[in-house]
Chain A
Amino acid sequence: VNDDPILALERELVGAARRHIAAQGRADSGPRPRAGGRRLRGLPSPLRAAALVALVLIPVAAVAIALTLPRASRPAAAPSPGSGPVGGASPAVAQAGPAPLASLVSELAVLRRPQTAADRDPRALALALLRHMPGISARLSRIRLAALAPWGAKVVLAPVNRQLLIIVGGSVQGAPLDSMIRTWGGEALAPLSGGRATGVVLVVPDGVTQVALRITRGGKAWTERAPVHDNVATVRLPVAANAAGAARITWYRADGTVVKRTPPPPPKPQAHPGPSLFSELAVLRRRQSAADLSLTEPPHAPRTEAFVGMPDRASARLAEVSAWGARVYLMLYWPPTTRVTDALPPRLRAAARRQAPRQPTLWILSSGGQGQEIGTAQTVADGQALAMSGGGPGNRSFRLTMVVPDGVTTVGFAAPGGNGSGFSAKAAVRDNVATLQVQAPPDRPAITWYRADGTVIRRIPAATG
């Protein structure tokens, strides 16, 4: 029994994180994968899987944190026909067991060339790092300063026991020789610019003169190329480590032919289901203020909750004073609980179960508590969270209220039409809401979302009919 559960929870979380890192370490020193880390796949735990898709990570005291990524766990591709010494390394050889150091040396010219003064300088760094690892015997004569990365870090290769360590700046990453060289080479990733960019170091066998990385992010795909010197290619990618690690890699020979190409990565398991209103709308994440609580709650009868859901007053937010001077509030409604539905007379229960929302819904409410449901998180993300209403008796104006996801700063409304019903106007977004008043009832207009720099995020066509 804990008098301070907050502290107890922190201890449990730290313990869980430690176990995860230790498990990763055990994976490093355990039996070798039969083929390029293939045994790492199919593990039940997303945590362990995420950990083990990484290459071997060797945390070293007092050095910066480094990330490793899933190249070693990628399924091996079939060797290209007519490939050279690298492409010709058959899967059978890779499965035969750990490759000896001699094999590695035979495949990496950088380890065969004479050690220079420049190589000996980083040797001190490598030794300082390796001293923290018990049972390590480094081949000092094989340590090489292989490259100076574009982001300023020295890249040092150090064969140690049955691993080739890639030392990038102050971090050490490595992989078993067999999975590394005979399948997908060695790779080290260094988070740059606070994790928004990634430095990628690829170690490739002799014969590979250029590498290409095909990166996919947010529906955009592009290719970055880097030449190979001393068996190492370095490239700075403007993406986070996860995206960099998922890049497809192609090795090229000097004549431009392909040595190897990684197959497309398997789809990543989704961490959490779909978008949530909370993740889409910053207005709901900000602290609730006194102004937010000035909303008069809609006068719902208890039975109504079984049909429309249960209002969440803690989520009420004053989002905008509209173009026509009214306060616009947003509030979430939870799907009704079983208890609420069961409290209905039996004749109404089936209808309530049919009609009630199954996900949290967003409502737009006015100061007086009148409101309308605008949809779910998906509705907002799809650009369909638009409310249209008349201006009231004797008022010919029409009012548009749109809820938009984070990042949209201006909404453009455009409705073609004769008889004075056409219009085109832009409305600024405040707290995820844009409002506009027009003088004629439009069909649902075409909508354009803009970023702060004026570029278009999305165009949503007008509804017809």
Chain B
Amino acid sequence: MEGLPDPRTDGELLVATVADPHAFAIFYRRHVRGVLSFFRRRVESPELAFDLTAETFAAALEAAPRYEPRPEPARGWLYGIAWNKLHEARQRGQADDAVRRHLGMAPIALSDEGIARIEALAGGRVLQLLDGLPAEQREAVRARVLDERSYEEIAAELRCSPSVVRQRVSRGMRAIRSRLKEAEL
């Protein structure tokens, strides 16, 4: 994660994976947060979200030699795999680990700190707290913090001034921080 970002596209990294394991590591770092969040929003536990994330990247690694670059970004390809893994997990009632076993990957046991890290990365606990905010604050925090949109853009959509949006975001974040602290006590 150090140094300059790798200039290669996702597709180029997947193609390079055939000979360079580091290329897949870069691809993984780019997308692990997004994939983890994708699962965390859709499953009940951080453990299951992590399991599905691991299986998704393992499947992507396994399929990399067959990856064919297309005009659309490789992100869609990765999320297509994630989608299928989620679908399978819902049908089976549990995450599969067939690809990881096949690749000889060791199971990763999670400590409490590890689960907290997953939650922090996927925003699971924060998302729960976010849902508990009043609607105005929730929308403002989502748009600003999760979607990284400008205050002006959000203000135009919500038909209020940017300073009102700032105030809602500030109040919402303060409430989330305070509830997180309460939970830690």
Instruction: Tell me the A residues contacting B by CB distance below 8 Å.
Output: 1-6, 8-10, 12-21, 45-47, 50-51, 54, 57, 59, 65-67, 191, 194-196, 240-243, 268, 271-273, 276-279, 282, 285, 287-291, 293, 312, 314, 334-335, 337-338, 359-360, 406-407
Contacts and interface: CB of A to CB of B under 8 A. Distances in A.
Nearest to A277: B83
Given A19-B104, A290-B143, A338-B93, A65 B76 contact: no
A196 B74 CA distance: 13
Contact of A10 (B16, B29, B82): B29
Contacts of A3: 111, 113-114, 117
Nearest to A272: B84
B118 A5 contact: yes
Contacts of B154: 290
B25 A13 contact: yes
Interface residues of B, number: 73
Interface of B is mostly: helix
Given A17-B21, A287-B146, A278 B79 contact: yes
Contact of B24 (A14, A241, A335): A14
Contacts of B42: 312, 314
Contacts, number: 187
Quick one: which of B9, B16, B69 has the most chain A CB within 10 A?
B69
A196 B93 contact: no
A57 B114 CA distance: 38
Contact of B142 (A293, A335, A360): A293
B118 A6 contact: yes
B15 A67 contact: yes
Interface string B144-172: 00110100001001100000000000000
Contacts of A16: 58, 61, 103-105
Contact of B105 (A13, A67, A272): A13
A2 to B, nearest CB: 5
A51 B9 contact: no
Contacts of A54: 18, 65
B114 A240 contact: no
B76 A46 contact: no
Given A5-B108, A290-B143, 15 more contacts: A4-B117, A5-B50, A6-B32, A14-B21, A15-B21, A19-B104, A20-B103, A21-B19, A51-B65, A194-B12, A242-B67, A243-B68, A278-B76, A282-B76, A289-B142
Nearest to B88: A273
B96 interface: no
Given A47-B62, A191-B15, A287 B147 contact: yes
A18 B21 CA distance: 6
A162 B24 CA distance: 32
B63 interface: yes
Interface in B6-50: 9, 11-12, 15-25, 28-29, 32, 36, 41-42, 50
B139 to A, nearest CB: 4
Contacts of B9: 194
Contacts of A14: 21-22, 24-25
Interface of B: 9, 11-12, 15-25, 28-29, 32, 36, 41-42, 50, 53-54, 57-59, 61-63, 65-69, 72, 75-77, 79-84, 87, 90-91, 93, 100, 102-106, 108-111, 113-114, 117-118, 121, 139-140, 142-143, 146-147, 149, 154, 157-158
A2 B69 contact: no
B165 to A, nearest CB: 10
Quick one: which of B21, B104, B149 has the most chain A CB within 10 A?
B21
Contacts of B18: 21, 51, 54, 57, 65, 67
Given A3-B113, A279-B83, A194 B24 contact: no
Nearest to B127: A314
Contacts of B142: 289-290, 293
Task: Give the 4 A-B CB pairs with smallest separation, nearest first.
Answer: A17-B21, A50-B65, A279-B80, A278-B83
A240 B105 CA distance: 30
Contact of A9 (B53, B77, B149): B53
Nearest to B15: A195
Nearest to B62: A47
B84 to A, nearest CB: 5
Nearest to A242: B68
B19 A57 contact: yes
A50 B63 CA distance: 8
Nearest to A44: B102
A179 B23 CA distance: 30
Contacts of B36: 6
A194 B20 CA distance: 16
A103 to B, nearest CB: 30
A1 B41 CA distance: 24
Contact of B108 (A12, A47, A277, A285): A12
A246 B58 CA distance: 25
B69 A240 contact: yes
Contacts of A191: 12, 15
